Amino acid sequence: MPAMQDERKHGPLFHILDVAFNIIVIVTIVAGIRTFLVSPFQVEGSSMVNTLADKEYIIINKLAYLIGIPKRGDVVVFHPPNDPSKYYVKRVIGEPGDEVTIKDGYVFLKKKGSAESIRLDESSYLNEKNLGHTYRHPPSSEDAAAVTYKVPEGDYFVLGDNREGSYDSRSFALDNNTKAEPYVPVASIKGRVWFVALPITKIQALAPPAYLELR
């Protein structure tokens, strides 16, 4: 009998409140996950082909940069310095303190603390059309003249994998409507691209290149 009496105390209002509480808990958990752990985004445009294609859905790992920092080769989602209201997706090329030089269609890197500038081996992610075709602004100019970027502390230099069709660090500071720098502050980087989620046929995890061969 006591068990039956307890059951009677749980009327319709109790069940409504119970459902509402569970919904609130679920929404809070999902919001927390999206804010601090992972978040979905849709790729717009072709600036990252062949790594990422237009209309693909990607999942970004936000936690990676809450407990660590961006590394060279990471594909990241960020707010561009010339328009903080937008989201861009590009690849980190220059870390704080690096010198990045673009000349003769290639990227040359002088790491922070190093006296030697070496050509960055990008063959693992640039397709045949783009390998050896990285030029100064505008990206499709085929202007092989050298330009050097000295990355400030706390900032990053980014490029799209579609080097002849990407609006990136080469262009940010040259937008006539802004006074932006070519570099992306670490605070503007929202996460590292973890994997492609859709379409199903394209599902894959993105691993940063090892850069074992720097020449």
DSSP string, 165-200: S--SHHHHTT-TT----SSEEGGGEEEEEEEEEESG
Predicted TM-score (pTM) of this structure: 0.81
Three-class DSSP category at 22 = helix
Q: Report pLDDT digits (tens) over 74-114.
A: 999 999 998 889 999 999 999 999 999 999 999 999 999 88
Mean pLDDT of 159-181: 83
The DSSP secondary-structure symbol of 206 reads -
Q: Which residue has the higher pLDDT, 213 or 186?
A: 186
Mean pLDDT of 155-175: 92
Tell me, what amino acid is at 172? F
190 flagged as catalytic: no
Please tell me the distance from the alpha carbon of residue 105 to that of residue 134, in angstroms, as a whole number: 4
**pLDDT class of 38 with cuts at 50, 70, 90:** low
170 pLDDT higher than 90: yes
Mean pLDDT of 188-196: 93
Tokens found for residue 136:
């100064």
Average pLDDT, whole number, for the chain? 84
**pLDDT class of 4 with cuts at 50, 70, 90:** very low
9 pLDDT higher than 70: no
Tokens found for residue 214:
């720097």
Mean pLDDT of 115-137: 93
Mean pLDDT of 107-129: 93
**pLDDT class of 29 with cuts at 50, 70, 90:** very low
Among 9, 46, 62, 90, the one annotated catalytic: 90
Among 47, 166, 169, 188, the one annotated catalytic: 47
**pLDDT class of 128 with cuts at 50, 70, 90:** very high
Q: What is the pLDDT of residue 138?
A: 87
**pLDDT class of 179 with cuts at 50, 70, 90:** low
Please tell me the distance from the alpha carbon of residue 61 to that of residue 49, in angstroms, as a whole number: 20
Q: Which CATH architecture has domain 37-205?
A: Ribbon (2.10)
110 flagged as catalytic: no
Q: What is the pLDDT of residue 25?
A: 52
Sorted by where each begins, the domain ranges of the chain are 37-205
135 pLDDT higher than 90: yes
DSSP lists the bridge partners of residue 195 as 59, 205
DSSP lists the bridge partners of residue 147 as 102
Mean pLDDT of 2-8: 47
